[in-house]
Structure 1
Amino acid sequence: MKWLTGVVEVLLCAVVTQSFAADPVQDALVPPPRPDAAQLVFLDPHSSASSDGFMAGIYELNGNTRTLLTVINSRQRRVLDLPAGQHTLMSYHPLTKSAHIMLTDAEPGQRYYVIMRFAYGQGLQMRPIRPDNTSEFNTSHKKFPTWLSASALTADAVPADWDADWQSAINESQGRARVVWSKKTDEQRAELTLRSEDRVEF
């Protein structure tokens, strides 16, 4: 009977492994990743009647330095090339004056997806889209094809003064976001961390 138990265990492991396997993501709009950088594809599939309802700036935080990387709006996708390793990103939603933090630890030459999750009254939160079912946001989700098709890749032309009039509000929102992050549990932080294993096949 021991051999039968062993066979059953192997079969169960195979089933579990298969359930976590993700199909390659067909995304003809996005060019292949650069070999020297991690490619992050941000999706904002929301539809909005106003021009800024789902608009957010995406920043990198490095100590006291904040750098605007791109601006994403309703029905858009943005592609960012980041050096491999750990980064702290922040989204800022001007309409609600809300900011959210996401950590990344990505590999060069790999592609990753992030969805801009709308939280009522709290703006747009960045959530990693995982290639397995360890998150509600994953490439096997029934809505993932819609997230892709609803997010058009447009020219990434960000005016240098896009946030010039909001610096004080952004500073305050950034401070609040850091406090919120410091109070999160390890599990909550993990949900907001893009891991190297979140890379997708393409």
Structure 2
Amino acid sequence: MEEEEDLETLGEQLYSLISSKHKEDAGKLTGMLLELPGPVLTQMLQDDAMLTAAVEKALRALQVAQEPSQVCNDEDDVSVSSDSLGEQLFELVDVYNTGHSQKITGMLLEQHKDAILKLLSDPSLLEEQVHLAMKTLKEQNMEETDVSDTSELDDTERFGEKLFSLVVEMDPLHANDITGMLLEMDPATLQQLLSDHTMLQIAVHKAQAALDTLN
């Protein structure tokens, strides 16, 4: 009962903050944010910037859910819409602060487009999928612990060369720094970045943002 009461209190506080800026969608947005873990919600109530960012992500998800899905046979259009879905999904997954947002987004993007659209419009389903993906990642990490150090070094060097050649096209000025930051990820994520241009762009943007804050 206490948890339900806490959630209700958080919901009321969130609603009052959200309704001042987004009166029409305040109910829906509050409902979406209430799917997040309690500690995250408490932090949002104390951090305006965090709350604003989360509301903006929820708003984008609402807009995607309300837009009629356009069926198109043109491959270019399909790839563009897939890129857009990837970015929107990443932003929602990133709210959960799992530390594996890129990997989880990549895993979820392997589903059919209709299933991805459903995830964008159903926060409880998305949360469930994020937890499942985290469980899978933990199991994979346990299996990978017996890989030798030398092969890991070889992999890192190989990934570094490939990544640098892609990153230098996006940001020649900071290619070295960005590649170094990306190489801190595990090999499975690096493999995903090399095979998925959208994921790589997102990762590069995040690295650029991190560099800006350092400078």
Q: Same fold (TM over 0.5)?
A: no
TM-score normalized by structure 1? Answer: 0.27
TM-score normalized by structure 2? Answer: 0.26
Structure with more relative contact order (C-alpha pairs < 8 Å, separation 6 or more): 1
